[in-house]
A and B are shown apart, each in its own frame.
Chain A
Amino acid sequence: MLRVESIEVGYTERPVLKDLSLHVEEGSIAAVLGANGAGKTTLLRTIMGLLHPGRGRILFQGEKISHLPAHEIVKRGISMIPEGRQVFSRLNVLENLRLGAYLEKSKAQVQSDLEQVLELFPVLKERLMQPAGSLSGGEQQMLAIGRALMSRPRLLLLDEPSMGLAPKLVTQIYRIIATIHKQGTTVLLVEQNARMALKVAQQAYVLENGRLALGGPAEELARDDRVRKIYLGEA
């Protein structure tokens, strides 16, 4: 479904991602692991069209998308939950969700999507008129996920969904990710928290200093000595 072909991406002269290739199968969950500064966010931002690769290309369902701006990427069915959630804090929950459905012309469709999202996140239902900035971290993460789902993406990108959340909330968020996947959305998620990510993913990649260090089925990576030592914190 998504193919990243030897891309090179940077903010300055020095590239942050070097000769990076990976792919995500339709209907699967793929995880990208890596330490701080490995280039995980840069990868997702490049897929979303917020950055453009100097070399290489990105294909989505066979079409080259790496030259397109973000709003065109969203139109093609990819949606991202950005690092740090980035909800519109002064807009209320309902307005945030409506913005997620910005490209949807049919009001009836927006309404039914809204109902589905609120079913998935009942806490948001009670807070529809509250400014997003007044929500707790966990609620904001749910709003960010719900907002991304409002565009009914075929591929969902998540940038560290567990960041800054209590373990119980992390479990809850991952249960929701599994539900979204079961309902037919392909998922690419980026994590420092390797344990959860390797549990849900089928395919996993390890990023080190902008290069691909490892890649393969998630179960295999979970057994890999280096992964266990560095990313799972096992002796």
Chain B
Amino acid sequence: MFIQQVMNGLTIGGVYALVAIGYTLVYGVLGMINFAHGSIYTLGAYFAWTAVARLGFSLPLAFLFSLACSVLVGVIVERTGYYPLRQATVENQIICIFGLSIVLDNLIMLIWGTVPKSFPSDIVPDWVSVGVAKFSPMQAIILLLTLVILLVLYLLVYKTKTGLAMRAIALNPEAASLMGINIGRLRLQTFILSAMLAAASGTMIGAYYKIISYNLGLSTVIKAFVVSILGGIGNISGAVVGGLVLGQIEGLGAAYVSTGYKDAFAFVVMILVLMLRPNGLLGTFTREKV
């Protein structure tokens, strides 16, 4: 029972971490919180559902289909919501991105309706009993996939030239442009990456719970936001730690306190962190004040 709860927490926590990294990357490189992140996450789940239920794709193919669509969504959102306002005031940027997320949410309701959609129950066997222990293949797939994505992200951000340029922009965009870095292009690429992370997470959660609705992104994205705060906003390894911590708190809290309060734990954690360690558990990784 305890092991099972830890596994549940790990699965969900890993997904929170991916969503939070998407936030954190956009915040670092574009300098603005992505209020449309939740909508892109929900869209990702619906793309996957459409691929499976309407186009008859297998789950892995649906996953790739969702990623491909999210690239397009990322380009559209960045080029309409961020790029034209890159010189505008923060207030105007917030309003614009917020407005865009409302448009996206309504688009989702228009296309797929407000009635929740279920994934076909035969896409993966639910639980497999091995002796006395029960284990879920879907959980294993999600954990493995999360791990692979995290590894790829780590290599990208810390071992490639593009990653170095991203970190430079996060620290000092003007100095970065003096290095010959095309900031506009890198911001677009970062946003696309963040959209892909959102879509991948949305797809995994959709396939995990097998049911999605238009407001799927809401609670997850608020929690990912909590995770970003927990790990220190702009801090990638912090997002991973934050995701895993929140996943465990939620999983164990649901098991040993009450399932009804599951979502409340996230906010209690957020309030505590903001009160005690406003820079997050690991500190921030945002721009330098010059």
Contact = CB atoms under 8 A, between A and B. Distances in A.
B178 A79 contact: yes
B174 A50 contact: yes
Interface string A109-130: 0000000000000000000000
A90 B171 contact: yes
Contact of A86 (B167, B175, B285): B175
Interface of B: 161, 164-165, 167-168, 171-172, 174-184, 285, 288, 290
Interface stretch (A93-101, A163-171, A216-224): A93-101
Q: Which 8 A-B pairs have the closest CB atoms?
A: A74-B180, A70-B177, A103-B180, A86-B175, A99-B179, A102-B179, A71-B182, A102-B180
Given A84-B290, A86-B290, A91 B168 contact: yes
B171 A99 contact: no
Nearest to A96: B168
Contacts of A98: 161, 164
Given A50-B174, A69-B177, A79-B178, A99 B285 contact: no
A71 B177 CA distance: 6
A190 interface: no
A91 B166 CA distance: 12
Which one of A48, A70, A89 has the highest number of Cβ atoms from chain B below 10 Å of its Cβ? A70
Contacts of B182: 69, 71
Contacts of B183: 71
A174 interface: no
A102 B86 CA distance: 23
A70 B178 contact: yes
A231 interface: no
Contacts of A192: none
A160 to B, nearest CB: 15
Interface of A: 48, 50, 69-71, 74-75, 79-80, 82, 84, 86-91, 95, 98-100, 102-103, 147, 151
A147 B164 CA distance: 14
A79 B175 CA distance: 11
Contacts of B288: 89-90
Which one of A48, A87, A88, A98 has the highest number of Cβ atoms from chain B below 10 Å of its Cβ? A88
B176 A99 contact: yes
Contacts of B165: 99, 102
B164 A71 contact: no
Contacts of B177: 50, 69-71
A74 B178 contact: yes
Contacts of B176: 88, 99
Contacts of A75: 180
Contacts of A87: 175
15 contacts: A50-B177, A50-B178, A71-B181, A74-B180, A82-B174, A86-B174, A86-B175, A88-B171, A88-B176, A91-B168, A91-B171, A95-B164, A99-B176, A99-B179, A102-B181
Nearest to A69: B177
Contact of A74 (B161, B179, B184): B179
Nearest to B165: A102
A48 B172 CA distance: 16
A88 B178 contact: no
A89 B171 contact: yes
A147 B168 CA distance: 13
B172 A102 contact: no
Nearest to A86: B175
A91 B171 CA distance: 9
A133 B178 CA distance: 18
A75 to B, nearest CB: 6
